[in-house]
Structure 1
Amino acid sequence: MIDLPFIYDAFVQLCSGIPLTLQLMAVSVASGAVLAIALAAMRLSSWPPLDLLARIYIFIFRGTPLLVQLYLIYYGLSQFPELRKTFLWPFLREAYWCAALALALNTAAYSAEIIRGGVLSVPAGQIEAARAYGMSGLTLIRRIIAPQALRQMLPGYSNEVILMAKSTALASTITMMEVTGLAAKLISATYRPVEIFIAAGAIYLLLNFIVSRLFKLFEYRLSAAQRQPIYRRAAGENA
């Protein structure tokens, strides 16, 4: 029989790992988004070497498991003496920054393709019309490309953010005490994995529900111009 009071107690104890889970997710998603924009720009570039470099990066990070990437960064970088003498070593010797780096590099590869697809979804005729009107550079991106591309990429990008929230669980393999790390520690003390993993799963489910609702709200606000008022819709149906 499943012990509900024990699950509740485990849930309360595992909640102490939520701040670290959210930190890892926020840092990796934010830094990964910046890198993804650069990669998407390289993929859309008319200069073949830039496109090739972005393709190679995306191929490597989408084609290898995140866990392998995490191990290579955490255990592999320390094998280079030259790196240990640089200013980066105080960060890269910490499990937190290694986990954040691995998550950021991984999500950047997927997000770059989402961004590229969003940009390519903008009708070329609108871009040509905007240029004929005198728009160019940042004005064209800000007023024509970005709003439409963002609406198209938001559903896919929300899935990527949710995936990153779940992927933070892999940080437990390099001693990070986020939700899954605390769950493993609690299991070793109680030998009750089923109840503890149910509690951990409930926490991730709750976090991802909140994330999905926030993206839904953002998507709803972005599509305000495409929504007809109710009275106009009703009038159209009655006509």
Structure 2
Amino acid sequence: MFFDLEFTRDMPGHARRAARMSGVRTIRARISGDGTDLRADQVRFSEGKAHGKDQGTRMDAHSGREDRMTPGEVLINAFSKIPTIIAAAVDGLDSRQLATRPVPGANTIAWLAWHTARGQDAWVSDLDGLEQVWTSDGWYARFGLPFGPSEMGWGMDPDDVTGVVATAELLTGYLDAVSSRTRAYIQGLSELELDEVVDAGRTPPATRGGQLVSIANDGVQHAGQAAYARGILDER
């Protein structure tokens, strides 16, 4: 028999989790004969009030697969924000404007976009055991910067920062290529592989998933800096 249940702390844990994922307060659920167990595979969700018409979507309350993102999907979603922010920051600017400091001593938009892509490229390629997109796909040659192919931007002096001169198309093209590599890499990982320790020398030991979170965090921060710099330039 199905009963209407309010979403309360008295519900079994798996049912509460499923209800939270559905975004509703009332569920229709099959209760066992003695009333002590809720059959998770029979949970049905309703957007209406208790005792209302059941028009919800049936789903597995244990996996919540219809509504729940996997850890890999969360990571891919996080990484996808970076090229979107960078594209908006460089849009409509020429290479001279992109290489202009918004204020004295600040990093340029070109440097921030390039460094964002370089860091993600180097770290993800290391995790994946592959050559960096920067060299394997010819981006180093296309940019033609006055640095060696291993340069990523760390510890650069002010003159080196302004030495990163590139078009918006080059900057977004390289970042898009790196983002595609990252997405493909994450899509091929299982949840067990995300939990695998890849650097036991850290405290605590760094897992593959933890490293990817750090890479995404670094990229989003630099992308945000580029967006802020663009706002300053636009106010000039």
TM-score category of the 2 structures, normalised to the smaller one: under 0.3
Looking at CA atoms only, which structure, 1 or 2, has the larger radius of gyration? 2
Q: TM-score scaled by structure 1?
A: 0.26
Which has the higher relative contact order, 1 or 2, with Cα contacts under 8 A spaced 6 or more apart? Answer: 1
Larger % of helix: which?
A: 1
Larger % of strand: which?
A: 2
